[in-house]
Amino acid sequence: MFKEEKYEINSTSIGITEADGDGTNFKDIWDLRVPLNTFILLKSGDYVALYLIGDDGYEMPKSTRVRVVRRDVANEDSKPVLPEVLYQLVKDFIDRNKLMKLPIGAIIGPEEHIVVQVAGKDCLGLYPIHIADDTVNVVTTANAVDTLEQCRVLANEIKADYNAHRVATAYHLVADATNVVDAADVAAAGTQAELNTLVNQIKAKFNPHRTQSGVHPYNDNLNIVTAADATDLASSITLANEEKADYNAHRTCGEEGVGDVDASESYFKIVTTRRRKTL
């Protein structure tokens, strides 16, 4: 006879092996070999949750990648159970509205494997603001020194690079469609008033972009533009130069660590059903 019952797979389950991560490469962190006379009945709607600690002793970044796969008895043929997702989507253990549910079901037989894989480096305690550093939209124009021409060229590039950066989903969880710099570029024959308008709007849009809800894995609470709004050439130069510095720092803020997931300090669970043979 087989008895069907609710079952929780976690890091202490019988038949589980664990290993530390391998940086940005996907690595088997927990591998459950299903015991003899047992079937795991993964169902669509079962949920999975993880809490990941890195070698640095801090929680892994939300941008760490996670997936769950099933493998055959030989532990070779691999099929997804939970396709690749960001860690931030699978870290809730309590709120039913936020629980990550398995999209598909599967029957895992005796001596087959259920494997939780993780990819990502720790961050030395300084969480990365972006999914990946933006090394493309870099402001390279030299700082303005003493002319409107220098400042307008700089401001125009900050606008272009920032607007490209804020919508790039290679770096953000979603595009920032809110904080758009739409003030006109300043032409070669432009006025001081036009320059003031542009640099002031860059400040007004970039500052809230840093903490726009849902856009970044972690808010940027470091790189805030604090220079006063521009009213003349001197103040516009000061503001534009700071905008360049803070924006460029924002693109790559967060320190990538040299470690990865520390399995012994981490935890996971999959709440599902098992069917096991009884006497």
* Structural domain boundaries in the chain: 2-122+258-277, 148-251
Structure confidence at residue 120 (pLDDT): 84
Return the bridge partners of 275, or none. 4, 39
pLDDT-derived band at 112, boundaries 50, 70, 90: very high
Q: Which of 89-98, 189-198, 244-253: highest mean pLDDT?
A: 189-198
Rounded CA-CA distance 107/91 in Å is 25
164-217 pLDDT, tens digit each: 999 999 999 999 999 999 999 999 999 999 999 999 999 999 999 999 999 998
The stretch 62-81 carries a mean pLDDT of 92
Structure confidence at residue 56 (pLDDT): 76
Structure confidence at residue 192 (pLDDT): 98
Provide, rounded to the nearest whole percent, the portion of the chain with pLDDT above 90.
75
Q: How many CB atoms lie within 10 A of CB 119?
A: 20
Structure confidence at residue 88 (pLDDT): 85
Q: Give the residue with greater pLDDT, 263 vs 3.
A: 263
pLDDT-derived band at 55, boundaries 50, 70, 90: confident
Tell me how far CA of residue 275 lies from CA of 12, 91, 257, in angstroms.
19, 27, 42
Structure confidence at residue 218 (pLDDT): 81
pLDDT-derived band at 221, boundaries 50, 70, 90: confident
Reply yes or no on whether the pLDDT at 125 is more than 60.
no
The stretch 139-159 carries a mean pLDDT of 97
Average predicted confidence (pLDDT) for the chain: 92
Provide, rounded to the nearest whole percent, the portion of the chain with pLDDT above 70.
96
The tokens describing 184, both together, are 């006109």
Structure confidence at residue 2 (pLDDT): 77
Structure confidence at residue 75 (pLDDT): 93
The stretch 254-262 carries a mean pLDDT of 70
Reply yes or no on whether the pLDDT at 62 is more than 60.
yes
Structure confidence at residue 24 (pLDDT): 79
Rounded CA-CA distance 39/109 in Å is 5
Structure confidence at residue 97 (pLDDT): 85
pLDDT-derived band at 128, boundaries 50, 70, 90: confident
Structure confidence at residue 34 (pLDDT): 95
Structure confidence at residue 220 (pLDDT): 86
CATH code of domain 2-122+258-277: 2.60.120.1170
Q: Give the residue with greater pLDDT, 178 vs 89.
A: 178
